[in-house]
Amino acid sequence: MTNRRRLILMRHAKAEPFATTDHDRVLTERGRKDAADAGRHLAERSMLPDHALVSSAKRARETWAAVAEGAGSDLGPVFDDATYTGSPDVVMEALSAVPESAGTVIFVGHNPTVAYLAHLLEDGEGEPDAQAQLLQGYPPGCLAVLEVEVPWAELGPETGRLVDFYVGRG
């Protein structure tokens, strides 16, 4: 048996700039389309998550719903309030608590945390095209896919190999 796991780090898709509260901002039409396209991208590459950790912000919840719909997945997410305002350390703590039975995990959250985590976890041995894209920025709705060979509880710096980077182009 292999310890190989897959971690998908996704920044929420494009959202409206204002709402009653930041937590209540919703996706734009483009954001919904881009998130659904990201779901189709994951499905086409057989990278469907079996565990979804999602920020409790409305735009992150809507991003996951569109990704799941685009992927044809009925996976119920785990919404996490702490990851909405949390630092990368808070998100790492939440990811380290993912059940060991999870083979592919998606985290849908916010920048700068998501981009920081992608850079922190990437071991420098990934796919050159994906690495080049990651270095160009982390726009709304994009995702980085890392292969991880340690248990979730041991996730840390340079424990993932970047194998895919996807940016929707709504």
Measuring CA to CA, how many Å separate 45 from each of 41, 42, 68, 109, 112? 6, 5, 14, 22, 27
Query: Which CATH superfamily hosts domain 5-166?
Result: Phosphoglycerate mutase-like (3.40.50.1240)
Six-digit token string for 129: 């095209």
At 1 the pLDDT is 34
Helix or strand holding residue 11 (H, E): strand 5-11
Mean pLDDT across the chain, nearest whole number?
95
> 49-100 pLDDT, tens per residue?
999 999 999 999 999 999 999 999 999 999 999 999 889 999 999 999 999 9
Q: How confident is the model at residue 170 (pLDDT cuts 50, 70, 90)?
A: low
Q: Which residues contact 87 (CB under 8 A, 6 or more apart)?
A: 113
Domain boundaries, the chain: 5-166
Average pLDDT, stretch 111-119? Answer: 97
Q: Round to whole Å and give the CA distance between 84 and 132.
A: 28
Q: Round to whole Å and give the CA distance between 56 and 47.
A: 23
Residues 38-54 as b/e (b if ≥16 CB within 10 A, e otherwise) read bbebbeeeebbbebbbb
Which own/partner contact pairs does 127-131 have at CB distance under 8 Å and 24+ positions apart?
Answer: 127/162, 127/163, 127/164, 129/165, 130/162, 130/163, 130/164, 130/165, 131/162, 131/165
At 3 the pLDDT is 63
